[in-house]
Structure 1
Amino acid sequence: MTRALTIEDLYRFEIPSDPSLSPDGDRVAYTLTTQDAANDRAHSSIWEVRAAGGPARRLTRGPADTAPRWSPDGTQLAFLRAGQLHLLPADGGEAVALTTAVRCPAGAGIPVWSPDGTRIAFSGPSARREDTAPVVIDGLGWKADGAGLLGRIRTQVFVVDVDSGEVRRLTGGNPHAGQPAWSPDGTRLAYPAQSGPDGDLAGASAAHVVGVAAGSPAPRRVGPATGIAGAVSWYPDGSALLVVGRTSAGVGHLELLRQPLDGAAPVPLSAALDRNVLPGGPGCPGALPQFHGDTIVFCARDGGAARFYRVDAAGIGEYPLPAGNGVSGCSVAGRAGRAALVVSDTSSFAEIELLALGPDGAGTEPVRLTAHMSRSLPGIALHPFTERLFTVSDGTAVRGMITRAPGTAPGGPLLVDVHGGPHNAWAPHAAPAYPHHQELVSRGWTVLTLDIRGSDGYGEDFYRAAVGAWGEADEQDVLEPVATLIAEGLVDPARIALTGYSYGGYLSCWLSARSGLFATVVAGGAVVDLTTMAGTSAEGRLIATQEIGDPDRLPALSPISHADAVRAPTLILHGGADDTCPAGQAEQWFHALYTRGVPAQLVLYPGSSHLFPLNGRPSHREDYSRRLVDWVTAHTDR
């Protein structure tokens, strides 16, 4: 017997992530995140599965163990436990702390082994801020979502000696230093950091290189000061850096770039693909690019899914994952010719798969190694969706996905959900963040998700299509597909609800002022006032200057300027510790609606950051979904 997913099932979710393939390609270590209902928190521990098959097994007890990384000789596994580095013997035994609160008071970051296995580099905070200490602000970057107030504290690059536990800091100054990468000879580290005298204002960053030996010269920039550098790694022969970035700051695709060490102009490697390279990160699929011989393997989004590609002297090719499957983690064992992937499909949120890369770079069909979905949610069958292409009046093609239970009668209620970003996209596979979709479909609803212009996965022109014109450029990408479904008789025009999170929350508020189509609205993590957003959000400066551009346009493109036109009952859901879209945005919208007599309710989730619907307290995630379902149902009942 099978049954549909319900909201309370989120307490049973088991989500694997961040795989690390042993150097011989025989073992995959990974982080498994489960839900600790008793303590109302996510629980993470390190698990392992063998490439030859067999059941996965737990290696550590948690509750906050993440980022496993094999040593070069495969004898040890480094990982983070509650913010400090630990080492676990590969042949069994207890984990031993490598860094401690005494030597590393602010905590460590993701471990990066040196080629000879004697040292581990990481990027981490330069100091620990006491909760009651004054916060000094004299530049941007003084807060970050999930970390809170930073003041003058910046992430820096550190190296710890594996035998002695001695920790040395290699960088300093104002710029945040990103994750480091060892040179093949182990003498230098490369890392991304802000660049130029006004890097925090311009959003510019570049690759930097620093020597590891004591007394080495200060770090030097090796890329253009006006570009963007995200993830950085080395070519296997040490001749250049591989950078995920752009040659100019601003909104657009990230590319693979070969950056010469002499500072010469970077060489684009992936431009012909016309897809955005995804290095992975919180709330974002993809994985760091890696080398397999002379081939670079990487992820880029195509049509909503993070796909797995390769680039070499012969050009760009795609590995043979089934259509619609998406990748959210990768680890390559070069000499074994294998890659361990985290893959999502239409019936599972995420599983570990093994892909043989092959000597010709072609790859073979991946082999699934884990079964966390069927283990944790036996008998669950997710409702099917149908992809649909809508053509709006200006000729733009907009991809949508329609989720309905088989046998659902036409003329029922519709939930329209707008994604965030604005450069995210709806994946054509299962996702754990939206149990309310499944619950509503079980109740006879239709759910419509749309990749409006600005979405990732459809080329750079589409990616940039709403720059400078939020709301104005993309509103018809929502309104016209809904009108099509009404005209076809699929949904009841009087029972249409609109929701969205982050940018989706912005567009939900915008559309509720621009159209009377929606019977009710649920705005999550919303932006409503772009002017105040610019000075209060951790990302506000770049949104104002790069996504909008013209400061005179900020008021006109702000939903708060059009609140007089809103009539739809509105529920506002917002993280109380959101530093990306500060809670003041939600408070302004509630005040604007309530004082105008619009039925409105604001729910704040104390201590929750912007990404809490993905990784926050289980009780907050359950409450978010349940309130959304109850609100739209109550305001569309007939």
Structure 2
Amino acid sequence: MKAADLGLLTSVSTPTVHPGGTRAVVSVTHPSLEADAAVGQLWSIPLTGHAAPRRVTRGFRDTAPRFSPDGRLIAFLRAVPKSAPQLYVVDAAGGEPVQVTDRTLGVSEFAWAPDGRSLAFVSREPEQGRYGTVEGIDPNGEPARRIRTLKYQANGLGYIVDRRAHVFLVAVPDVWAEPAVAPVPQPDGSTGEKPGVPDARQLTSGEWDDTTIAFAPDGATLAFVSARHEGRDDDLRSNVFLVPVDGSGEPVDATGGHGDFSVVALQYGLNGVLYVSAQEVGESGRDFVARNTALYAIDRPGAAPLLLTDPETVDLTESDIVAYGDDAVLVADRRRGALVLTRVTSAGDVERLTDDTTVVGGVGTAGEVVVASIADAGTAGDVALVTDGGLTRLTDFSRAVRAAGVIAPRELTVTGADGYPVHGWAVLPEGEGPHPVLLNIHGGPFAAYTGALFDEAQVYAAAGYAVLMCNPRGSAGYGQEHGRVIRQRMGTVDLDDVLAFLDGALAQLPGLDAERVGVMGGSYGGYLTAWTIAHDHRFAAAIVERGYLDPEAFIGTSDIGSFFSDEYTGTDPEHIRTQSPQAVVDRVTTPTLVLHSSSDLRCPLGQAERYYAALKRNGVEAELVIFPGEDHELSRSGRPRHRRERFEIILDWWARHLPSRTNRV
């Protein structure tokens, strides 16, 4: 795979399954270099017979499909160029979609009412005078913002205190009715009422965000997640609230009195039990470092949540909750570089349904039928039927990228200097070698590489580099102790582990050139790359991308600055400096490319600028690249042309400092 093949990478949404179990519908999207945006439509996937999958909508970007409870309609989100997504419904048999919302800032999620007559949705409510609510007032002409909270921005969004997310309810329009037409003016100049979208009723309000919605089976109650407590600006707690759909009462906190939770997801089971996944963040409400997400059940209103899964060994941080059968749900357990589909009953029985290598991205059900979106070494996104025998692949959306060239990763575990096992993968280029080596370090740190098709590893391997990727201590998927060991000890055993993996791979794998090695990483990976080159000078060059480089300057500038540095590097200034790449930048001699985005609010641009300036002042060969208009997610969801350009800049850097047979100046 080459940088120009970026548009061949497809992503597949969570499936929705027709109540009859005959077909599933997914959104299939890809980065379009022509449109310089992500584009995609809805596809219907037959679950019986031999019919082929087919595209069923033709919007610019259609996502998040959901069948109505009776299967007659499909609701989904549609975005047009340079506009926010809106909610639409369409006849499940086909036809012209009907627009349901026209929200200034769009719709982020929705849920069908059990009777299929209405939809709840989440949308940000802009403060009057901002965000286009007054024609002619652009962002630079808006009034000054008076900030009184620590948390007031979010990466990829910007300011949040003047556009809070709330829950709304809207009636489902009749998609079979005669279309409304806009009346022409009468001779006297009068006009009739122009057709519009249905009026939505606001269910929640306040100076907080209300998200993650689910209807109770009887349709009378809506559950959602919010942080409404008095200390919400100083901690990470969030709770489940229940609100009557008819507006007869105020939201009631269902979890705040029973523990210190940061809620991730929720869903009602078919038996009326409310399932909640959450992290325990301790008495301080801030103890988030490497906290696995566990599953809880609330069997009746007011009852304490019952813990169903062991937070040490099961991690549901990247999982939705899907009702399955009378007394169970399906979740995805983050485990050793995979997301394993897992059935959990209300009694706490756990059954794993997929293997330890497949990444299960989302699940839809209808009765006993289970359909999953998956990724593995051969696909960036496909749809599979889950059976007792495992997974039966129903689509092949990645055939084009495989034809362009995909190299299967080799799984590898090495033993560190202290005897600790370090797990990861190597993606090796074709040919005998010796191949120059790139040590890649992931972000997080409580995240993980997987064995699934990864565009970055493929592009670098196609350019002639042996790519090494591991999950050192601090990563997710290996238990909480594995992740928490670097809390206020960053740059210790995590550094030991990535270097041990490098040395182990060089010793075990043929064709690697131990004398020609580079190192690179983004976010926390940028941190550990910068830390590594201050302590180990074997590398021909380095790339520090969107890095967490200056813990002290992070506070007050990052959208997570109010808590991240305090918990990961501590609060004592001297102790912080023992973990700060900025504090040891004077030790760096390795040529370093610093990549960053201008609108990154997670690791703000100043982190890169200060680090780059120190490199230059110290006489180190360095280059700073800044991508305009991009945020922390550039490499994953940025503009496709910027993503391609990023690859080109990276390969140019390696061509100059670590040339391969096929990538050289």
- Whether 1:48 aligns to 2:55 is no
Secondary structure of residue in 2 paired with 1:441: helix
Report the counterpart of residue 267 of structure 2 in structure 1.
233
* Contact 2:261 2:278 survives alignment (8 Å): no
Quick one: which amino acid aligns to residue 631 of structure 1? W
Aligned to 2:641: 619
Q: Indicate which of 576, 589, 606 corresponds to 2:611.
A: 589
Of residues 61-70 and 302-311 in structure 1, the stretch that sits farther from structure 2 once superposed is: 61-70
The count of residues paired between Structure 1 and Structure 2 equals: 611
Partner Cα separation in structure 1 for residue 500 and residue 274 of structure 2: 49
Is 1:418 aligned with 2:441?
yes
Deviation string for 1:253-284 (max 9, x for gaps)? 00001135554442211117712113x4xxxx
2:407 to 383, 399, 415: 383
- Give, in whole Å, the separation in 2 of the partners of 1:491 and 1:443: 14
Question: C-alpha separation between the residues in 1 aligned to 2:423 and 2:544?
Answer: 22
Summarize the alignment of residues 557-636 of structure 1 with structure 2, pairs less than 5 Å apart. 557-636=579-658
Q: Give yes or no for contact 1:209–1:219 (8 Å, CA) kept in 2.
A: yes
Distance 2:323 2:572 in 1: 40
**Secondary structure, counterpart of 2:264 in structure 1:** strand
Question: Relative to structure 1, is the Cα distance of residues 498 and 156 closer, same or farther in structure 2, using a 3 angstrom cutoff?
Answer: same
Choose which of 37, 41, 65 in structure 1 pairs with 2:62. 65
- The offset of 1:560, in angstroms, is 0.6
| Alpha-carbon separation, structure 1, partners of 2:394 and 2:68 | 22
Query: In the alignment, what sits opposite 2:153?
Result: 143
Name the counterpart of 1:10: 6
Q: Please list, as runs of the form range in 1=range in 2, the aligned pairs for 1:75-86 lying within 5 A after superposition.
A: 75-82=72-79, 83-86=85-88
**1:32 touches 1:44 (CA, 8 Å); kept in 2?**
yes
How large is the Cα RMSD of the aligned pairs?
A: 2.1
User: What are the equivalent positions in structure 2 for 1:158-197 lying under 5 Å apart?
Assistant: 158-163=168-173, 165-197=198-230
TM-score (norm 2): 0.87
* 1:21 partner amino acid: V
Offset, 1:219 = 3.8
User: Does the CA-based 8 Å contact 1:16-1:31 persist in structure 2?
Assistant: yes
Per-residue CA deviation, residues 596-619 of structure 1 (Å, 9 max, x unaligned), is 111111111111121121111111
Kindly tell me: are residues 263 and 544 of structure 1, through their superposed partners in 2, closer, same or farther at Cα, counting changes over 3 Å?
Answer: farther
Aligned-pair CA distance for 1:576: 1.6
Seen in structure 2, the aligned counterparts of structure 1 residues 91 and 267 have a Cα distance that, compared at 3 Å, is: same
Query: Is contact 1:493-1:517 (8 Å) kept?
Result: no
Give 1:551 deviation, angstroms: 4.2
Shift of 1:546: 2.6
Aligned equivalents of 2:459, 2:261: Cα separation in 1: 44
Contact map agreement 1:88 1:95 (CA 8 A) in 2: yes
Aligned residue identity for 1:105: T
Aligned to 1:155, what secondary structure does the other structure show?
strand
Amino acid at match of 2:93: D
Distance 1:216 1:10, change over 3 A: same
- Of 337, 342, 346, which residue of structure 1 is paired with 2:377? 346
Mapped partners of 2:394, 2:512: distance in 1: 41
Structure 2 gap ranges (5+) = 80-84, 132-138, 174-196, 661-665
The CA deviation at 1:373 is 0.9
2:358 — aligned with what? Answer: 325
Match of 1:527 among 525, 544, 548: 548
Identity %: 29
CA contact (8 A) 1:497 1:521 kept: yes
8 Å contact from structure 1 (residues 498, 521) kept in 2: yes
Give the Cα–Cα distance (whole angstroms) in 1 for the partners of residues 53 and 146 of structure 2: 48
CA distance in 1, matches of 2:166, 2:389: 40
**1:247, 1:266 within 8 Å by CA — same for their partners in 2?**
no
Aligned to 1:360: none
- Determine if contact 1:135/1:151 at 8 Å carries over to the other structure: no
Partner of residue 421, structure 2: 397
Question: Aligned partner of 1:14: which letter?
Answer: T
Retained in 2: the 8 A contact 1:206–1:228? yes
Which letter maps to 2:557?
T
Q: Deviations over 1:498-541 (max 9, x none)?
A: 00111101111111112112111011111111111121111122
Residues 295-351 of structure 1, C-alpha deviations (whole Å, 9 max, x = no match): 2211011111111111224721110x3441111111122x2x112211112111110
Q: 1:612 to 1:415 in 2, by over 3 A?
A: same
Give, as a single letter, the amino acid of the residue that structure 2 aligns with 1:367: T
Closer/same/farther in 2, CA of residues 201 and 606 from structure 1, 3 Å limit: same
Which residue of structure 1 aligns with residue 472 of structure 2? 452
Specify the SS of the correspondent of 2:107. coil
> Which residue of 2 is the match for residue 110 of structure 1?
109
Q: How many angstroms does 1:490 deviate by?
A: 5.2
- How many Å separate the matches in 2 of 1:10 and 1:194? 39
Report the equivalent of 1:22.
18
The alpha-carbon deviation at position 126 of structure 1 amounts to 2.0
Q: d(CA) in 2 for partners of 1:260 and 1:533? A: 42
SS of residue paired to 1:342: strand
Taking the aligned partners of 1:221 and 1:473, their CA distance within structure 2 comes to: 40
Equivalent-residue separation in structure 2 for 1:141 and 1:315 (angstroms):
39
**d(CA) in 2 for partners of 1:305, 1:371:** 20
Name 1:366's counterpart in structure 2: 391
User: What is the alpha-carbon distance in structure 2 between the residues aligned to residue 443 and residue 239 of structure 1?
Assistant: 52
8 Å Cα contact 2:239/2:253 also seen in 1? no
Alignment of 1:154-303 (within 5 A): 154-163=164-173, 165-223=198-256, 224=258, 226-246=260-280, 248=282, 249=285, 250=287, 251=289, 252-259=291-298, 261-271=300-310, 274-278=313-317, 280=318, 286-303=319-336
Cα distance change on mapping 1:513 and 1:306 into 2, 3 Å: same
TM-score norm. by structure 1 comes to 0.91
Partner of 2:489: 469
Question: Which sits farther off after the overlay, 43-52 or 480-489?
Answer: 480-489
Cα distance in structure 1, aligned partners of 2:421 and 2:571: 27
1:427 and 2:450 matched: yes
Runs of 4+ in 1 over 6 A off after TM superposition: none
Paired letter, 2:398: M
Q: Which has the larger radius of gyration?
A: 2
Does the residue aligned with 1:185 lie in a helix, a strand or coil? coil
Distance in 1 between the 2:498 and 2:358 partners? 25
Match of residue 543, structure 1, among 549, 559, 564: 564
The superposition leaves residues 47-68 of structure 1 with CA deviations (integer Å, 9 ceiling, x where unpaired) of 2211124222222222122111
Q: CA deviation at 1:368?
A: 1.4
Deviates more, 1:469-478 or 1:146-155: 146-155
Counterpart code for 2:77: L
**1:120, 1:548 → 2: CA distance?**
44
Aligned counterparts of 1:289 and 1:548: Cα–Cα separation in 2: 37
